[in-house]
Amino acid sequence: MTDQQQTHQHGHRHGHGHDDAHMDWDVMAPLLELGAEVTSPIVDQAAVWLRERTEAAGLPKVRRLLDIGSGPGVGACQLARAFPEAEVVAVDGTPALLERTQARAAGLGLAERVRTHLADLPDGLATVGDADLIWSSMALHHIGDQESAVAGLGQALRPGGLLAIAEGGLPMRVLPRDIGFGRPGLHSRLDALNEDWFNEMRAGLPGAKEAVEDWPGFLAAAGLTDVRSRTFLVDLPAPLGADARAYVQAQLARQHEAAEERLDAEDRAALGRLLDPEDPQGLMRRPDVFLLSARTVHTAVKPA
């Protein structure tokens, strides 16, 4: 939200070839799944737009769809429902997450159309085959050379196919600017720390290249045409339900863990209160907690 983006805040590193061996997937996988479920309106809205794009442009019917960096498979199953004639391949570098994808697909009656493919990015792209539609959400920023990764996905498109990359948007907001204790503007200060974390993460990636993060420009440089972007919202007003509130609590807890040493004493104390399940002003009890975030989807077509 991330956001940094929501995926950053919840430690989204699956499928990108770094730190997976040190991740406790028994803990992380359920949080990733919860986050994907709570923010699922983004994928649903984006899928409607993608269908409209393919139909209005007279593009080939989507028979094969790749979800690159698919995580626990929530989005892959949503896409399978949105494109009922397509085989959907969830591509990720973490076996534990692909197992969750298989279980989810089976539970939703989608096992015959949703399958999984184990591959790290970017080296594993050559193994995924081609597709009429390629979707990648909040995964490519974990690759050192983002422009090259976009070009690789473009090569995997079938002629007339559509590439959709969900990257960027706006940071998640869950609380008023003034929460009634501590200094107002806590969200903004956490955003600044998240940006520092993101810059350090990017600098440490294998083959990291500094580049203007111009996703439409990357799509055009890959030889794709009809480049368009649209932003979609998750807008859950207060008071939040139990699942969304648990997701917000987990997100802020991870932010607190990552930024604790960089926060001043007042902000540490404020976060401690917010994360205390017994505090009446904590996230689990206060009535004004909401969830608002935005994610931008960039799309382009491979010339026939």
For residue 34, tell me if it sits in a domain. yes
Structure tokens at 273: 């209160």
pLDDT-based confidence at residue 22 (cuts at 50, 70, 90): low
Average pLDDT in the chain = 91
Distance, in Å, from the CA atom of 110 to the CA atom of 77, rounded to the nearest integer, reads 7
- 3-state DSSP call for residue 159? strand
For residue 29, tell me if it sits in a domain. yes
For residue 26, tell me if it sits in a domain. yes
Q: Report, as an integer, the average pLDDT of 96-103.
A: 97
For residue 1, tell me if it sits in a domain. no
Question: pLDDT digit string (tens) for 117-156?
Answer: 999 988 898 899 999 999 999 999 999 999 999 999 999 9
Cis omega (within 30 of 0) for bond into 277? no
Distance, in Å, from the CA atom of 254 to the CA atom of 279, rounded to the nearest integer, reads 19
Range of the domain at 99: 6-301
The count of structural domains within the chain is 1
Say if strands 225-236 and 291-301 run parallel, antiparallel, or are unpaired: antiparallel
For residue 23, tell me if it sits in a domain. yes
Range with lowest mean pLDDT among 22-31, 121-130, 197-206 = 22-31
Structure tokens at 130: 């081609």
Question: pLDDT digit string (tens) for 267-290?
Answer: 999 999 999 999 999 999 999 999
Looking up residue 78, the CATH number of its domain turns out to be 3.40.50.150
For residue 235, tell me if it sits in a domain. yes
Structure tokens at 230: 């649209």
Distance, in Å, from the CA atom of 41 to the CA atom of 244, rounded to the nearest integer, reads 13
For residue 202, tell me if it sits in a domain. yes
Q: Please say whether the dihedral angle defined by the alpha carbons of residues 123, 127, 130 and 135, taken in this order, is positive or negative.
A: negative
